[in-house]
């Protein structure tokens, strides 16, 4: 690499100019900014100008400097042009700011960060299985973790809600929020999340706007029809079809709502022979309702362990999400119901024992494999009155209200 790749152009002797491209957070030193020195040098303790893209500036002191040595971040006393460096001690710094010499305020062009397009609620868990898998289960721990993430992740917005047990988190898409959820799982957090919804806008004349994404799909020619049909059903507008060898590239404008859960559906429809990428384009006119889940769910009505006898009897009602021996609780979603309405079931029911021996009393039963969900698939599957329960080892679907009597009263009140 050193022999064939030329080094980036830098000016080692000119006045300092450093562009901030990333933020991080440390519990001991606070906000940390990451950038590459395009010109000059910098020392710990030096006073510099923090310049905004609009030209406004403020004199600040660089308290500490860090650089990576292998995988470890080490403190250094001086850095030079071309170095990638972490700066500590500037509380109000943002991505796109420029660090300059005191007598040379020369900002870099502004960076445009795409606005958040998807929102969901992160809820402190009230599950009967709370604390079994993770050690971070309180609302205070959840709040601290999300606000700490928002300090470093500028595309993530965290908002308070009407209750201290819930926080609204906004991001640039389901993948963006899904990565955060996976990180928190691995760090030992237990919490629940609601179904994602897109962030809409409304003009003064009442016109309803929603985020539109530019979507590119690379797929084999034999499966391009299925990809076009799938995205067309999600209100996607096909713009172009470009041959690329034995594949074609499809370009769409798709509402952000239509991309929720689309990745797994596309892979299934094309037998895994499609790749999808998308980015925010603009806010456009609302394109109408999206297809909704046409089935209800089977809901456990008691706490216990699922039995093979009960699972076998419920398979005719729809595909199940649990296997015999799995622990369930009242209000947990254990399967899909073929009909549109929800169904409370006893998945813990045992076969009644008698003292009469029958010739076919013992028989071999082959049960269908339960459906498994990843984070993104689970979020796309649930309805507005359902939650995804996240733990370090398990992903469960559940009703937001666990008590079946309260759910029935709410359903009657909604119909009245």
Torsion of CA 250, 258, 377, 165, to 10 degrees: 140
What angle is formed at CA 173 by the lines to CA 172 and CA 174, rounded to 5 degrees?
145
Mean pLDDT of 315-337: 94
Mean pLDDT of 219-240: 92
DSSP H or E run through 26: strand 17-26
What is the C-alpha to C-alpha distance for residues 223 and 226, in angstroms, rounded to an integer?
Answer: 5
In this structure, the number of other CB atoms found within 10 A of the CB of residue 1 comes to: 4
Q: Please say whether the beta carbons of 59 and 99 come within 8 A.
A: no
pLDDT digits (tens, 9 = 90+) for 241-298: 999 888 999 999 999 999 988 888 899 889 888 999 999 999 999 998 888 888 999 9
Domain architecture of the chain: domains with CATH? 17-100 (2.40.30.10), 113-200+372-416 (3.30.70.870), 202-285 (3.30.70.240), 295-351 (2.40.50.250)
pLDDT digits (tens, 9 = 90+) for 84-118: 999 998 888 888 899 999 988 888 887 777 889 99
pLDDT digits (tens, 9 = 90+) for 347-391: 999 887 666 655 455 567 788 899 999 888 899 899 989 999 999
pTM, whole model, 2 decimals? 0.82
What is the C-alpha to C-alpha distance for residues 119 and 122, in angstroms, rounded to an integer?
Answer: 10
Q: What is the mean pLDDT of the chain?
A: 89
Give the CA count within 13 Å in the CB-facing half-sphere of 245.
2
For 141, the 3-state DSSP assignment is helix
What is the C-alpha to C-alpha distance for residues 135 and 175, in angstroms, rounded to an integer?
Answer: 25
Residue 175 has pLDDT above 90, yes or no: no
What is the C-alpha to C-alpha distance for residues 283 and 112, in angstroms, rounded to an integer?
Answer: 16
What is the C-alpha to C-alpha distance for residues 52 and 110, in angstroms, rounded to an integer?
Answer: 8
Provide the pLDDT confidence category of residue 177 given band limits of 50, 70 and 90. Answer: very high
Bigger pLDDT: 91 or 341? Answer: 341
């Amino acid at each position: 690499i050193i022999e064939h790749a030329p080094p980036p152009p830098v000016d080692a002797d000119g006045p300092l100019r450093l562009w901030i491209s990333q933020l991080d957070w440390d519990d001991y030193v606070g906000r940390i900014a990451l950038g590459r020195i395009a010109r000059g040098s910098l020392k710990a303790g030096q006073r510099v100008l923090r310049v905004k893209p609009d030209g406004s500036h403020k004199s600040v002191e660089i308290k500490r400097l860090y650089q990576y040595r292998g995988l470890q971040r080490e403190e250094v006393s001086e850095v030079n042009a071309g170095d990638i460096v972490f700066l500590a001690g500037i509380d109000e710094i943002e991505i796109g700011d420029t660090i300059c010499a005191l007598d040379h305020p020369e900002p870099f062009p502004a960076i445009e960060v795409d606005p958040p397009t998807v929102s969901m609620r992160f809820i402190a868990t009230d599950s009967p299985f709370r604390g079994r898998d993770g050690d971070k289960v309180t609302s205070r721990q959840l709040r601290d973790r999300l606000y700490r993430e928002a300090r470093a992740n500028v595309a993530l917005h965290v908002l308070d809600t009407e209750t201290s047990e819930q926080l609204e988190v906004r991001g640039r898409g389901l993948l963006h929020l899904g990565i955060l959820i996976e990180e928190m799982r691995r760090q030992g957090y237990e919490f629940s999340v609601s179904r994602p919804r897109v962030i809409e806008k409304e003009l003064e004349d009442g016109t309803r706007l929603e985020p539109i994404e530019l979507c590119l799909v690379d797929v084999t020619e034999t499966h391009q029809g299925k990809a076009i049909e799938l995205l067309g059903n999600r209100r996607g507008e096909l713009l172009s079809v470009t041959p690329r060898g034995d594949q074609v590239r499809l370009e769409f404008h798709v509402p952000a709502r239509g991309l929720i859960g689309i990745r797994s559906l596309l892979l299934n429809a094309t037998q895994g022979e499609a790749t999808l990428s998308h980015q925010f384009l603009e806010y456009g006119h609302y394109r109408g309702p999206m297809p909704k889940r046409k089935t209800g769910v089977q809901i456990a009505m008691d706490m216990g362990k699922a039995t093979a006898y009960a699972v076998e009897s419920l398979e005719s009602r729809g595909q199940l999400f649990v296997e015999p021996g799995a622990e369930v609780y009242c209000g947990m979603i254990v399967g899909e119901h073929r009909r549109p309405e929800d169904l409370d079931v006893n998945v813990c029911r045992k076969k009644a024992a008698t003292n009469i021996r029958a010739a076919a009393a013992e028989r071999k039963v082959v049960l269908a494999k339960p459906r498994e969900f990843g984070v993104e698939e689970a979020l796309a599957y649930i309805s507005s009155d359902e939650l995804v329960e996240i733990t370090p080892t398990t992903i469960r679907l559940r009703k937001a209200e666990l008590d079946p009597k309260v759910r029935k009263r709410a359903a009657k009140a909604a119909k009245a």
